[in-house]
């Protein structure tokens, strides 16, 4: 718990570093370009398809009639944009995570290592190819989980649990590997995953809930169409900054855990102090003892 809280506050402080703020805008440029491009080509057709699907449903039609009867029929005009936005949000989250992992995480880990762990040896236990394969495999599993769990999102309690849980698991997998890839050996990385899996997963889930918060900004963009162009980049930048904070949190936790693991290894290999001190005293007393007298000469015959 102490390691968790210490790494949390250090990550918050590091978010104010000028290098972190500057790096947070790099994925933003890519994400804004991608979002605006997809919106320009696919927003209207997707919106029309969702509206047609809603109007073709008998129970949705009855719902519209009931809403108009109670005086809230205007919700019909914003439901389709909200459905599209909430469906696109997981994709934006995943792409933001990958963008941060590829573009920001190595720089943030180096920042933490330079300022806090300058003596920590880099054993290069994970290559770039292995990191990319690990990230793509984890992302694919997370996307499959998102698609499979979509029907469960209609259950009110589960929509507050499942998406952050899936995003947190993905964050935990990708960030922990990338943080330890340069400094830890493969054996050390596996051991840290084994020892700290629960705490690292907890960091990922908390980061998942933080990543879900900007969805309010997306919803505001649907309700206030005039500010949509401003709110969408703002939401993407918030996503990026949240993942940057997650990278810093994982970096402080992972490198501190690695430092402790190596200290334990050194203490295990080296003889304990209570064994060394008697040996040193015995050697010292032996060196100060006068040499034994020569054996007496044999008596003369």
pLDDT per residue rounded down to tens, the chain (301 residues): 888 899 999 999 998 888 888 888 876 777 677 777 877 788 788 888 877 877 776 766 676 666 666 665 566 667 777 777 777 766 766 676 666 667 788 888 899 999 999 988 888 887 778 888 888 888 899 889 888 888 887 777 777 778 778 888 888 888 889 889 888 888 999 999 999 988 998 998 888 777 666 666 555 554 555 455 566 667 767 777 887 888 899 999 999 999 999 998 787 765 555 544 554 455 555 555 555 544 444 554 4
Q: Give one word for 124, left, alpha or beta, with left for phi > 0 and alpha for psi -120 to 50.
A: left
pLDDT value at residue 215: 60
**CA–CA separation, 131 and 263 (whole Å):** 26
Residue 110 has, within 13 A of its CA and on its CB side, a CA count of: 8
- The burial class, CB within 10 Å (0-12 / 13-18 / 19+), for 50 is middle
pLDDT value at residue 301: 46
**CA–CA separation, 51 and 1 (whole Å):** 49
* Coil/strand/helix, residue 172: helix
CA nearest 203: which of 265, 130, 144, 257? 257
**CA–CA separation, 260 and 272 (whole Å):** 17
């Amino acid at each position: 718990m102490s390691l968790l809280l210490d790494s949390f506050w250090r990550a918050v402080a590091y978010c104010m570093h000028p290098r972190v703020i500057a790096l947070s805008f790099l994925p933003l440029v890519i994400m804004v370009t991608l979002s605006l491009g997809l919106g320009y080509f696919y927003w209207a057709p997707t919106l029309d398809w969702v509206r047609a699907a809603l109007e073709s449903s008998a129970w949705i039609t009855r719902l519209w009639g009931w809403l108009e009867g109670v005086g809230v029929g205007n919700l019909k005009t914003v439901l389709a944009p909200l459905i599209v936005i909430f469906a696109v949000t997981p994709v934006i989250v995943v792409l933001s995570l990958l963008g941060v992992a590829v573009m920001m995480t190595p720089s943030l880990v180096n920042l933490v290592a330079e300022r806090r762990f300058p003596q920590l040896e880099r054993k290069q236990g994970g290559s770039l190819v292995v990191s990319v394969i690990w990230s793509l495999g984890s992302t694919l599993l997370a996307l499959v989980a998102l698609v499979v769990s979509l029907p469960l999102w209609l259950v009110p309690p589960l929509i507050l649990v499942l998406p952050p849980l899936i995003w947190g698991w993905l964050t935990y997998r990708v960030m922990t590997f990338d943080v330890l890839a340069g400094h830890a050996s493969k054996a050390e990385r596996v051991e840290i995953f084994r020892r700290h899996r629960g705490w690292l997963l907890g960091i990922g889930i908390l980061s998942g809930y933080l990543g879900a918060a900007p969805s309010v900004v997306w919803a505001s963009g649907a309700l206030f169409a005039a500010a949509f162009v401003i709110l969408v980049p703002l939401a993407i930048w918030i996503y990026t900054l949240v993942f940057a904070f997650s990278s810093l949190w994982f970096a402080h936790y992972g490198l501190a855990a690695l430092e402790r693991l190596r200290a334990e290894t050194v203490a295990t290999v080296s003889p304990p102090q209570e064994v060394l001190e008697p040996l040193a005293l015995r050697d010292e007393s032996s060196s100060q003892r006068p040499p034994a007298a020569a054996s007496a000469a044999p008596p003369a015959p």
